C-alpha cells in the first residue's frame, strides 16, 4: 500500500476497482479510515487498499460571529476553559474536532446561554486532565481570583473528567472565603456524538448560578443519570468519578448532592442546605499549592513488600489507600507473613523521618475506623493519621498537599479537621451505597 498522505488531508483511496474520496483520519490497526463528504466515517480493509493519493489539505473555515451586547438584568458568568472536549465542534470538511473558546462561539454552540447570563469566555490551559500538576491548580485559582475581583456573578470551569474531582477538591481548599459560585463542568461524551452530555452540563451549570443567588461553593455539575434530563450539583470535596464512560459517572460520596437542576422545566431543587452563602463583604483569600511538595498514594493489596513503602522516603506526605476500615498488611502471623513485619518497620521509619502519613479506605463509601481491630491500633501507634475520617483518597491527597504547602507545622493536627466540608459530620453512605 502506497501512502504519501497524512491525517487531515483530503485523499483519493484506490481499493480494488473502487475510488473513494474524503478526509484521511488517524490510522487504525486493520483499516484505513476516511471521512466522507456526508460526514460519515468509512473503514476500508488495508488488504484492499492499493494506494492513498493526497489531494491537498482543506483549511478549516472559521465562522465570524457578531459581538454579543450585554443584556440588562442578567448575571455575568465567566467560563474558564482548561480542556477542549466540552467546547469543541466537529468540522466535517476537515474531520477536525476544534476547540472553541470565544464567548460568541460558545453562545453559538449553546444558544440557550444567551437567555441565562451574559457570557464571558477564555482559555486558561487546553490539556488532557491527566496531565494536570499543582502549578495548573495555582494558575486556575489565580484566574478565578482575577474574575472575582472584576465583580462577576459566577464562574464555570470546563475540565477533562479524568481528574476533575482532584481539581474541584484543590480549588475548594485554595479559594478561602469564596464570595461567589465556582462550578466545574466536564463532558463524558465528545460533542461530535449524539449522546454528548456537554450541552446539558454547561447549560445546567449556568442556569444554577443564575437561578440560585445564594450558593457560594466550589462544586461540580454533571449528569444525574443516563437520561438527558437532569444534572446534579456535587460538593467539590466529596464527589468522585465512578464510571469510565457513563454520563452519570460522577457521584456524591458519603453525602447528598447540593441540588438537582432540570433545565427543561427551568427548575432547581435544593437537596440539602448548609452551603456557604454569596456575600459582597467576603474577601477571597488565595492559598496556593507548593508546586514541588511531594505527596504519594500507596494502594494496599495482598503480597506487598517493604520496599514499596521505602520508595516514599523523602516525601512530605503519604496517603495509604487501605482495605476495609483502614488496614494495611503489617502483621506477622506465620511463616508466610514475615514481610509484613518489615512493612511495619518501614512505615514507622518513614513517619519518624517526617513523612505525614494518612489512612483512607479503598471501599470509597464509609469511614476509617482503626480502633476496631488490633492492626488498626498498631497503625495509629506507628503514627498513621486519618482515623474517623471519611475523605475520599483523592480529596485526602489534595488536602494533605495543601496543608503541607500552607500549614506544614499544623498539618498533622488539621488533617482530621473538617475545613471545607470534606469530612462528614453524619455519614449517609449506607443509603448512597444501596442506591448504586
- Active site (catalytic) residues: 85, 161-162, 241
3-state secondary structure of 135: helix
244 contacts: CB under 8 Å, gap ≥ 6: none
68 contacts: CB under 8 Å, gap ≥ 6: 103, 104, 107, 114, 118, 119
Instruction: Measure the CA–CA gap between 159 and 127, rounded to whole angstroms.
Output: 9
In whole angstroms, how far apart are CA 394 and each of 19, 74, 149, 202, 289? Answer: 53, 36, 30, 24, 15
- Cell numbers 521509619 label which residue? 349
- Cell numbers 469511614 label which residue? 367
Which own/partner pairs from 310-316 qualify as long-range (CB within 8 Å, at least 24 positions apart)? 310/346, 310/350, 312/350, 312/355, 313/349, 313/350, 313/353, 313/355, 314/353, 314/355, 315/350, 315/355, 316/354, 316/355, 316/356, 316/404, 316/408
Instruction: Measure the CA–CA gap between 156 and 163, rounded to whole angstroms.
Output: 16
Residue 127: all three cell numbers together:
490539556
Instruction: Measure the CA–CA gap between 155 and 137, rounded to whole angstroms.
Output: 15
Query: How wide is the angle at C-alpha 436 spanned by C-alphas 248 and 416, nearest 5°?
Result: 90
220 touches 421 (CB < 8 A): no
Task: State residue 352 phi and psi, 5-degree precision.
Answer: -65, -30
399 touches 391 (CB < 8 A): yes
Residue 425: all three cell numbers together:
459530620
Residue 63: all three cell numbers together:
465562522
DSSP letter at 250?
E
3-state secondary structure of 286: strand
Instruction: Measure the CA–CA gap between 295 and 42, rounded to whole angstroms.
Output: 47
CB atoms within 10 A of CB 195: 10
Q: Give the burial class of 219: count Cβ atoms within 10 A of its Cβ; 0-12 exposed, 13-18 middle, 19 or more buried.
A: buried
Amino acid at each position: 500500500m502506497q501512502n504519501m498522505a497524512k491525517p487531515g488531508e483530503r485523499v483519493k483511496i484506490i481499493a480494488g476497482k473502487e475510488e473513494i474520496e474524503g478526509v484521511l483520519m488517524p490510522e487504525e490497526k486493520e483499516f484505513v479510515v476516511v471521512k466522507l463528504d456526508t460526514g460519515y466515517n468509512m473503514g476500508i480493509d488495508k488488504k484492499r487498499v492499493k494506494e492513498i493519493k493526497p489531494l491537498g489539505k482543506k483549511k478549516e473555515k472559521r465562522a465570524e460571529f457578531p459581538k454579543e451586547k450585554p443584556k440588562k438584568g442578567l448575571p455575568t458568568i465567566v467560563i474558564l476553559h482548561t480542556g477542549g472536549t466540552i467546547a469543541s465542534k466537529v468540522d466535517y470538511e476537515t474531520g477536525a474536532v476544534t476547540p472553541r473558546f470565544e464567548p460568541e462561539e460558545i453562545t453559538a454552540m449553546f444558544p440557550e446561554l444567551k437567555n441565562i447570563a451574559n457570557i464571558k469566555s477564555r482559555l486558561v490551559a487546553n490539556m488532557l486532565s491527566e496531565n494536570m500538576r499543582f502549578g495548573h491548580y495555582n494558575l486556575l485559582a489565580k484566574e478565578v481570583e482575577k474574575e472575582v475581583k472584576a465583580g462577576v456573578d459566577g464562574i464555570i470551569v470546563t475540565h477533562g473528567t479524568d481528574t476533575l474531582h482532584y481539581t474541584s477538591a484543590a480549588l475548594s481548599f485554595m479559594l478561602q472565603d469564596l464570595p461567589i459560585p465556582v462550578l466545574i463542568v466536564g463532558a463524558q461524551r465528545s460533542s461530535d456524538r449524539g449522546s454528548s452530555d456537554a450541552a446539558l452540563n454547561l447549560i445546567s451549570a449556568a442556569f444554577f448560578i443564575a437561578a440560585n443567588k445564594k450558593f457560594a461553593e466550589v462544586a461540580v455539575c454533571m449528569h444525574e443519570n443516563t437520561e438527558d434530563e437532569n444534572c446534579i450539583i456535587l460538593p467539590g470535596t466529596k464527589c468522585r468519578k465512578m464510571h469510565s464512560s457513563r454520563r452519570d459517572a460522577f457521584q456524591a460520596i458519603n453525602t447528598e448532592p447540593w441540588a438537582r437542576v432540570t433545565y427543561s422545566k427551568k427548575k432547581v431543587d435544593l437537596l440539602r442546605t448548609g452551603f456557604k452563602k454569596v456575600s459582597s463583604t467576603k474577601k477571597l483569600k488565595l492559598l496556593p499549592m507548593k508546586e514541588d511538595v511531594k505527596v504519594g498514594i500507596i494502594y494496599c493489596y495482598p503480597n506487598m513488600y517493604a520496599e514499596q513503602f521505602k520508595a516514599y522516603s523523602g516525601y512530605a506526605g503519604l496517603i495509604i489507600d487501605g482495605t476495609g476500615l483502614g488496614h494495611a498488611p503489617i502483621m506477622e502471623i506465620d511463616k508466610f507473613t514475615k514481610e509484613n513485619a518489615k512493612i511495619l518497620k518501614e512505615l514507622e521509619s518513614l513517619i519518624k523521618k517526617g513523612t505525614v502519613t494518612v489512612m483512607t479506605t479503598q471501599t470509597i463509601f464509609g469511614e476509617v475506623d482503626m480502633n476496631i481491630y488490633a492492626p488498626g491500633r498498631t497503625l495509629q501507634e506507628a503514627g498513621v493519621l486519618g482515623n474517623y475520617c471519611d475523605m475520599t483518597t483523592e480529596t485526602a491527597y489534595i488536602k494533605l498537599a495543601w496543608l503541607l504547602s500552607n500549614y506544614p507545622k499544623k498539618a498533622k493536627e488539621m488533617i482530621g479537621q473538617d475545613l471545607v466540608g470534606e469530612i462528614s459530620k453524619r455519614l449517609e453512605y449506607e443509603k448512597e451505597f444501596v442506591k448504586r
